[in-house]
Amino acid sequence: MAELLSPRQLETLLSCRIFAGVDAAWLDSALRPAMADGRCYLRRYGRDELIYAGRQFDRALGVLLSGRIRVSRTALDGHELAVSTQLPGAAFGMAVLFCQAEEFATRLHCGAPCEVVFVQEGLLRELMHQQFLLAENYIRYLSDRIAFLNSKIAGLSAGDSVHKLAQWLLEHASGGAAPLPPMTRLANELNLGRASLYRAMDTLEASGAIRREGKTVLLCSPNQLRGMDDGAV
């Protein structure tokens, strides 16, 4: 007999942005037959177990019900770059739904034992037809992600200047800090204009990757700098 969601699990599912505002009784009744026929299923993972990566994924919306998921990606030099941590109520998998994606862009590992409910693409489409609020929530979520990525792109519009500065800081840092030479000299060394260098410095500081203290730059997030250095955001 297929496992059904407990009241606690259903409550966590409803806390997900995709299911926000949906009637609990309706969702429970809609998922029960789907869990019986396998279009919706519950999976449990142990600590450090891989959930999604590369070609290992399901075309399903995943919602974390308990535990913690570490999101990372592989940088060009092969090291693992931490991206974020997902907590209960977080959704994932949208990037491989309603499209022909053949690989999942990031790696999802369990930072603690996890419970995840998966809603297959076909079932999600049916639920959206029955409850348009789900479609609105889904569109709103993706729109917010687009706005977030656009802000990242805008922050990196200096592009090469941010890349060059990030690389320089990583190369010259010692003990998590890099001495800051006169800006004119640094701009010449990086073959940048002073205005571009200041914008790049402001971008890195606004992102939380660095913090300036007098003539010293503290590397608050070396992994984030490495991501900017290799072009990954």
| Of 137, 154, 171, the domain-final residue | 154
Rounded Cα distance, 196 and 198, in Å: 5
Total domain count for the chain?
2
Does residue 112 share a domain with residue 201? no
DSSP 152: H
Write out the E strands in 14-103.
Answer: 40-45, 50-54, 60-74, 80-86, 91-92
Q: Computed over its alpha carbons, how large is the radius of gyration of the chain?
A: 22
Does residue 172 share a domain with residue 88? no
94 is a domain residue = yes
Residue 2 CB neighbour total at 10 angstroms: 13
State the pLDDT at residue 231: 41
Rounded Cα distance, 222 and 186, in Å: 20
Does residue 172 share a domain with residue 145? no
| Of 122, 154, 186, the domain-final residue | 154
128 is a domain residue = yes
Task: Please answer whether residues 160 and 40 qualify as being in contact, where contact means their C-beta atoms are separated by less than 8 angstroms.
Answer: no
Does residue 84 share a domain with residue 37? yes
**Residue 129, pLDDT above cutoff 90:** yes
Rounded Cα distance, 184 and 186, in Å: 5
How large is the average pLDDT for residues 206-219? 91
Length of the chain: 233
| Of 95, 119, 154, the domain-final residue | 154
Does residue 128 share a domain with residue 181? no
Does residue 27 share a domain with residue 134? yes
Domain boundaries, position 108: 7-154
Q: Which two tokens stand for residue 167?
A: 């690389």
State the pLDDT at residue 16: 97
Find the CATH number of the domain harbouring 179: 1.10.10.10
Does residue 123 share a domain with residue 52? yes
Rounded Cα distance, 138 and 125, in Å: 11
Find the CATH number of the domain harbouring 35: 2.60.120.10
Instruction: Tell how strand 210-213 and strand 216-219 pair up.
Output: antiparallel
How large is the average pLDDT for residues 44-57? 95
Q: Which two tokens stand for residue 129?
A: 């037809």
Does residue 102 share a domain with residue 193? no
For residues 231 and 29, which has the higher predicted lDDT (pLDDT)? 29
State the pLDDT at residue 93: 95
State the pLDDT at residue 45: 97
pTM summary value: 0.68
Does residue 101 share a domain with residue 190? no
Does residue 114 share a domain with residue 142? yes
2 is a domain residue = no
